[in-house]
Amino acid sequence: MSATVLYDTSYGSTRQYAEELARRLGTTAQQLAEAAPAELTAGTGPLIVLSPVHGPSIPAAAFVAKHDLGPRPVAVCAVGMTLIDEARRKDQMAGMLSDRPEVARFYLPGRLAYSTMNRRHRMIMWGIIKALKAKPESARSANDRAMIDSFDRDTDRVDLAELDAVVEWAQV
């Protein structure tokens, strides 16, 4: 019963997680865009789909919500810059996967590379940071402060040890 690992990536951290996860599970990672949903229903081993978080969008969760993947166990991993405890507390994927409560949800800390960011994404981030700075200091969360502090700087929070829980889930 072999696991299937699919991923989408923007700045490379999701690919890094997917490749390490696949290595630990004795399989290979495949880009989500190359996955044929019909082939995925034929598998019986765990399916793990990873993608970055783009504001309110998590492509991995959208993919799982949209496709009938059969009876196999499915997990979604969201890789983002929200502080990990905050991401888990908010559990953004719970609403996205409300029709699929059996899907396991994991949050992983990511990487944001302003040095390679396109102009549109940079402008979006600038607007977010401007809005956060407009909040009174006392109203800013730890996550708000972390976003402000890391603005316009390449930030890498990747922690491969966070995959331990995903591996444990896949091996049950």
pLDDT at 36: 78
Gyration radius (Cα) of the chain, Å? 17
Total domains, the chain: 2
Tell me, yes or no, whether 51 and 75 share the same domain.
yes
Are residues 54 and 72 both part of a single domain?
A: yes
The answer on 87 and 33 residing in a single domain is yes
Residues 17 and 74 placed together within one structural domain of the fold: yes
Q: Residue 70 has what pLDDT?
A: 84
Are 49 and 42 contacting, i.e. CB atoms less than 8 angstroms apart?
no
Same domain, 37 and 73: yes
* Per-position pLDDT tens, the chain of length 172: 689 999 999 889 999 999 999 999 999 999 999 987 777 877 779 999 999 998 889 999 999 999 888 889 999 999 999 999 999 999 999 999 999 999 999 999 999 999 999 999 999 999 999 999 999 999 999 999 999 999 999 999 999 999 999 999 999 8
Q: Which amino acid is at 12?
A: G
Distances (CA, A) of 53 to 60, 82, 121, 159: 9, 9, 13, 16
Domain that holds residue 149: 114-153
Q: Are residues 18 and 85 in the same domain?
A: yes
Q: 47 and 128 share a domain?
A: no
94 and 48, same structural domain?
A: yes
pLDDT value at residue 172:
82
Tally of CB atoms within 10 A around 109? 19
Whether residue 10 is found in the same domain as residue 80:
yes
CA angle 150/154/157 to nearest 5° reads 75
118-136 burial by CB neighbour count: b if 16+ within 10 A, else e? eeeeeeebeeebeebeeee
The span from the CA of 159 to the CA of 104, in Å, is: 19
User: Could you give the angle at which helices 142-150 and 119-134 cross, rounded to 10 degrees?
Assistant: 130
CA distances from 4 to 35, 122, 126, 127 (A): 10, 33, 37, 38
Q: Would you give the end-to-end CA distance of the chain in angstroms?
A: 11
